[in-house]
Structure 1
Amino acid sequence: MAEKQGFGFGLGKMKELTEALKKAQQVQEGAKRLQEELEGMEIEGEAGGGLVKVVLSGNQEPRRVEIAPEALNEGAEVLSDLVTAAMKEAYNLSTATMREKMEDLTGGLNLPGL
Structure 2
Amino acid sequence: MTQDKGKGFGFGLGKIKELQEAFQKAQQVQAGAQQLQQELEEMNIEGYSDEAKAVTVVMSGNQEPRQVTISPDAMGNSPEALSELVTAAMKDAYAKSTETMRERMEALTSGLNLPGM
Q: Which category of TM-score, normalised to the shorter sequence, fits these structures?
A: over 0.9
For residues 100 and 91 of structure 1, the distance between their equivalents in structure 2, rounded to whole angstroms, comes to: 14
**Total equivalences in the alignment:** 114
How far has the Cα of 1:76 moved from its partner? 0.5
1:32 aligns to 2:40 (yes or no): no
Contact 2:25 2:112 (8 Å CA) reproduced? no
TM-score normalised over the length of structure 2: 0.92
1:79 aligns to 2:105 (yes or no): no
For residues 113 and 44 of structure 1, the distance between their equivalents in structure 2, rounded to whole angstroms, comes to: 29
1:12 aligns to 2:14 (yes or no): yes
How far has the Cα of 1:8 moved from its partner? 1.2
For residues 43 and 29 of structure 2, the distance between their equivalents in structure 1, rounded to whole angstroms, comes to: 20
Structure 1 residue runs of 4 or more that deviate by more than 4 Å after TM superposition: none
Root-mean-square deviation (CA, aligned residues, Å) is 1.1
Structure number with larger C-alpha Rg: 2
TM-score normalised over the length of structure 1: 0.94
Gaps of 5+ in 2: none
* 1:44-85: CA deviation from partner (whole Å, max 9, x where unpaired): 000131110000001101111000121111110110000111
Change (3 A) 1:17 1:38: same
How far has the Cα of 1:25 moved from its partner? 0.1
Gaps of 5+ in 1: none
Greater fraction helix: 1
1:88 aligns to 2:77 (yes or no): no
Match of 2:105 in 1: 102
Match of 1:58 in 2: 61
SS at match of 1:96: helix
% identical equivalent positions: 64
